[in-house]
A and B are shown apart, each in its own frame.
Chain A
Amino acid sequence: SAVISQKPSRDICQRGTSLTIQCQVDSQVTMMFWYRQQPGQSLTLIATANQGSEATYESGFVIDKFPISRPNLTFSTLTVSNMSPEDSSIYLCSVEDRLGQYFGPGTRLTVT
């Protein structure tokens, strides 16, 4: 299975600032995904990021708030913009291979 790393692993940010989360995969993958896991809740898909095209956002998520880059087949970034305390979550990157979907370790974001 793919090995996925994320940076940073955690951060504490002030309201109104932005944070960019990086996701690196050890193999080339077509599709990468970004999920959010809010405190005490399950995972919610934010968007799908394919290399060479605009990310596709799920209902309730918009590009202005969560811009995504996918410059190549092993890397993606998610930016959480103009943060508020409601954005405090774990953000997870995931990829798909022939066996299924695999997740990174997550980035724990706290907004104060």
Chain B
Amino acid sequence: AQSVTQPDIHITVSEGASLELRCNYSYGATPYLFWYVQSPGQGLQLLLKYFSGDTLVQGIKGFEAEFKRSQSSFNLRKPSVHWSDAAEYFCAVGANDYQLSFGAGTTVTVRA
């Protein structure tokens, strides 16, 4: 069975500071891995995904994520956070592009 753990329920970061969101997954083969963002009142938006190739994946809005097979992790990073990055972030794993299991989410608060 596939599962995702996002250890941090809530993170507060200052504007301009770096951000790292943790994601650990459990899956028996090479997974598809995703990060989604859900802004208040908005739908889910795909930030980036990984299936194969370069383990450092670039996404939209300046986000990147690194796949580390040995640690079963797919952490999301952004070097400099903007106030508009305040949102809930979901990591997801799947056997393909669509049958996904989502983590519980991490809420990011950005302080001025």
Contact = CB atoms under 8 A, between A and B. Distances in A.
A105 B42 contact: yes
A76 B98 CA distance: 16
Interface residues of B, number: 18
Q: Which of B44, B99, B102, B104 has the most CB of A within 10 A?
A: B44
B87 interface: no
B97 A45 contact: no
Q: DSSP majority for the B interface?
A: strand
Contact of A99 (B44, B46, B99, B100): B46
Q: DSSP majority for the A interface?
A: strand
Q: How large is the interface on A (under 10, 10 to 19, 20 to 34, 35 or more residues)?
A: 20 to 34
Contacts of B36: 103
A101 to B, nearest CB: 5
Interface of B: 34, 36, 42-46, 49, 90, 97-105
